[in-house]
Amino acid sequence: MPAEIINGQQLAKELRDNMREEIVQLKETGLTPHLTVILIGDDPASHSYVKGKEKASAEVGISSNIIRLNADLSEQELLNKIVELNQDDHVHGILVQLPLPNHIDEQKVIETIDPAKDVDGFHPINIGRMIVGQDAFLPCTPYGIIQMLKSKNIVIEGKHVVVIGRSNIVGKPMGQLLLNENATVTYCHSRTNDLKSITNQADILIVAIGKANIIDSSYVKEGAAVIDVGVNRNTDGKLTGDVDFEDVKQKASFLTPVPKGVGPMTITMLLANTIKAAKGLNKG
Ligand code: GUN
């Protein structure tokens, strides 16, 4: 039987419908969640991602603004801007779109954001809280993937999960969140020996490599759940994942498509984090 497709767009819509209702109620108490996005330079992919975040925010009733800055601004100017936003009570969530120009230290920027406004979940304080299992802002892509697995009642506890990719944004936090759900986690990456022998042991396979269609069914155990985090453009400009969809569909039990898979869920969890930030800051 071919795999059941996990429709991230549909799940995202359901979650956003609930958020819209919650925000109507928050607004009645005088609280409108607000997200500020800082976008530096003119990278087309970053512009497109930020546009998506702005549109999704508006759809659920989150107010947002984008601060567009030239790529030649100094690191100190950017840090000053973040400090200003940290001190602005109307701003609940701050997101600095990555990547940054080479002359700006990304880690310094992330660590300047108030952890209580860090809706990306990239600040070391939030990462540390996540690791020890405390309440934290969770990085949006891994957080969204956990929601996708749970939406299909895919058992995580006790299962062998293999994560391919070890970025700070996806791979590393993904493994940690799955560990928190009592999975047995293996990380694979570009230096892994005999990748295929490891991925073939995976009950759940998370693929975050960044190369189009590289994972075919020979990497997949019969009946595995496969999550494709890849966002690639193939030669004819079409969006495609890291997984060879048609091939893996014949072997997996669950599979996420690209597009309409993980992507819409990433943005949805950003909205969830912004609402959480608004409620949290309002309390204090
Ligand atoms: N660039 C690519 N993905 C992300 C993300 O999730 N957050 C930020 N801030 N920048 C990104």
Rounded average pLDDT over 184-192:
98
The residue contributing the CA closest to ligand 1 atom 2 is 98
The residue contributing the CA closest to ligand 1 atom 3 is 98
What pLDDT score does 283 carry?
Answer: 62
pLDDT tens for residues 103-118? 999 999 999 999 999 9
The number of the ligand 1 atom at minimal distance from the alpha carbon of 139 is: 6
> How would residue 234 be classed by pLDDT, with cut points 50, 70 and 90?
confident
Ligand 1 centroid to residue 98 C-alpha, Å: 5
> How would residue 282 be classed by pLDDT, with cut points 50, 70 and 90?
low
Secondary structure (3-state) at 178: helix
Q: Which long-range contacts (CB under 8 A, 24 or more apart) does 165-169 make?
A: 165/189, 165/206, 165/207, 165/208, 165/209, 165/210, 165/229, 167/208, 168/122, 169/98, 169/122, 169/139, 169/141
The number of the ligand 1 atom at minimal distance from the alpha carbon of 98 is: 10
Residues with CB under 6 Å of ligand 1 are 95-98, 120, 140, 169
The residue contributing the CA closest to ligand 1 atom 11 is 98
What pLDDT score does 281 carry?
Answer: 78
Rounded average pLDDT over 185-200:
98
Ligand 1 centroid to residue 183 C-alpha, Å: 26
Rg (CA), the chain: 19
How far is C-alpha 100 from the geometric centre of its chain's CA atoms?
18
β-strand 239-240 against 232-233: which pairing, if any? antiparallel
Domains of the chain (ranges, CATH numbers) = 30-114 (3.40.50.10860), 140-263 (3.40.50.720)
pLDDT reading at 175 higher than 70? yes
Ligand 1 centroid to residue 259 C-alpha, Å: 17
Q: Which strands form 63-69's sheet, in the order they lie side by side?
A: 63-69, 34-40, 93-96
Catalytic residues: 53, 97, 120
DSSP assigned state of 57: H
pLDDT reading at 284 higher than 60? no
Ligand 1 centroid to residue 24 C-alpha, Å: 28
Rounded average pLDDT over 84-98:
98
Ligand 1 centroid to residue 68 C-alpha, Å: 15
> Ligand 1 pocket test: which of 39, 120, 127 has the largest number of ligand atoms within 8 Å of its C-beta?
120
Rounded average pLDDT over 50-65:
98
Q: How many CB atoms lie within 10 A of CB 275?
A: 22
> Ligand 1 pocket test: which of 97, 117, 126, 268 has the largest number of ligand atoms within 8 Å of its C-beta?
97
* Residue matched to tokens 């969140």: 177
